[in-house]
Amino acid sequence: MAKKYFGTDGIRGRVGQGQMTADAVLKLGWAVGRVLASKGNSRVVIGKDTRISGYMFESALEAGLSAAGIDVRLLGPMPTPGIAYLTRTLRASAGIVISASHNPFYDNGLKFFSAEGTKLPDEIEDEIEAMFEAPMETVESALLGKAGRVDDASGRYIEACKATIPIGTKFSGQKVVLDCANGATYHIAPSVFTELGARVITLGNTPDGLNINQACGSTHPEKLVQTVLENQADIGIAFDGDGDRVLMVDHTGRVIDGDEILYIIARARLAEGMPLKGVVGTLMSNMGFELAIKALGLDFARANVGDRYVLECLKEKGWCLGGENSGHIICLDKTTTGDGIVSALQVMAYLAQSEQTLAQALEGLSMFPQVLINVSLPAGADPMSDASVQAAVDAVDVKLAGRGRVLLRASGTEPLIRVMVEGEDEQQVTRYAQQIADAVKDSY
C-alpha cells in the first residue's frame, strides 16, 4: 500500500509543518508504542543529531511512547548508525533517530530501526500509519512507560567502530582532517581516530543547534579540501549531519566520492581473501565504477537510489558490500546499516596495511564525467510525465549512443528533480544535462 507519512527514509520535513510538529510527533510516538506493545515489546531507544528542534521532538516522542506503555532509553546526540548498533546491543524493540541527515537545521525527521538494527519492514510502517489515524488513548497510570538515559552510549559506539578493523591496526604518523558537519559525529569521530593513533585536526565540531551542515560536512567539502592542503594532511574525511554518509579528500585536495570509497573497500576485502561475490550500487553509480568493479572479477548490480534499496538488494543477492555515490556505504560484514565512521575506517585500515596513499588505492578506477543538476519543483508540478521533458531525454540518449546514461529522478526527501547525465566528454555531458534541466523548468 502507498505510504501516507513514511518516505524512503522515514519521515522528514520542515519543523512546524506537516508531520514535523510537536503534537504530530507525540501522536506518532504513541502510534509506534501501540504497534510495538501489540507484539509484546516494551523498550525503545531514541537518539538525535544536533538540531535545536531535537529537544522538542525527543520530549514529544518520549511522552507518546510512555502514554502507550513503552519504556524509553535516551541516547542523546548520536550518529544514526550508532543508534542502530545500540538498538541491537541494548536489546530494544526499536530505535528512533531524530534527524534530517544532510538537510539544513530548519528541517528534521524521524528514522526507525527494528530490533535487529535494520530499517523497519514495510508492514510495520503500514501498521504505524494506520494506528496514527486512531484516537489517542493513554494506558492506565500503573502501566505508563518509564524513561532513562544511557550514560555510556558514546563510549559503547566508539569501541564498536574500532572493533570493525583488525586488532593492532594503527594510524600512527597519519595526519587526518575530520569534518563532523557540526552534527552527530562531533564527539565520536575525533575520539575514534585519535585512539587509533592518528594526528587529528577537527572541523565542524562546535554544534549550536543551528549550524548543522552549514557550509561544512560531506555536502560542502570546500573547507575540508582547504584545510587538508594548508596542513599538508594525508587524508580528509567528511561526514554528514547524522553520520551515515562519508566523503574523503586525498593529499592533493581531490574529493573522493562514495563510488570511489566503495571501490577501495572492495579491493580491501579481496586483499583480505574474503569471498566477495559482488557489489551493489545504485542508478546514480558511475559507469566507470561499474566497469572497475567488474574488472576486479566481481558482479555488479544497481538498486534504486536510497540505502534502503541498496540493503534490500544486498540481502536478496546474499552479498555484503554496497552503497551510493553520495557516501552511504553499507558493509554488512561489519554493520547493519550505512556508517560513515566505519566506512572511513575500512579505507584507512587498507591504506595502512597496503602502505598506499588514497590516490594509489584508486588505481584501476577511471570515472566517467557525471553531471548532476537539481531542479526545484513548485507544488503540484509533475515534469516526469511531461512529453517535452521525455523528448529532451530521448534526444540526449540518441546522442550518447550507448556510451553514457541519462537519469531523471524525483528526490525522496526534497521538492527536487535530479537530472543526471553521464558520458565520456565532460563538456558534452554538462551541455546535455543543462538542456534537460531547462526542459524540466519549462514544463511548469
- Cα→Cα distances 424→365, 369, 418, Å: 14, 6, 20
C-alpha–C-alpha distance, residues 77 and 59, integer Å: 14
Among 132, 130, 114, CA closest to 44: 114
Among 413, 254, 252, 203, CA closest to 328: 413
DSSP letters, 241-261, are TTSSBEEEE-TTS-EE-HHHH
Which residue, chain included where needed, has cell 526545484? 376
The packing angle between helices 22-38 and 122-132, to 10°, is 120
Residues 91-129 as b/e (b if ≥16 CB within 10 A, e otherwise) read ebbbbbbbbbbbbebebbbbbbbbbebbbbeeebbbbbb
Would you please indicate which residues are annotated as catalytic (active-site) residues? Answer: 101
405 and 421 in contact (C-beta within 8 Å)?
yes
Among 263, 298, 259, 301, CA closest to 420: 259
260 and 362 in contact (C-beta within 8 Å)?
yes
348 exposure class (CB count in 10 Å sphere: 0-12, 13-18, 19+) = buried
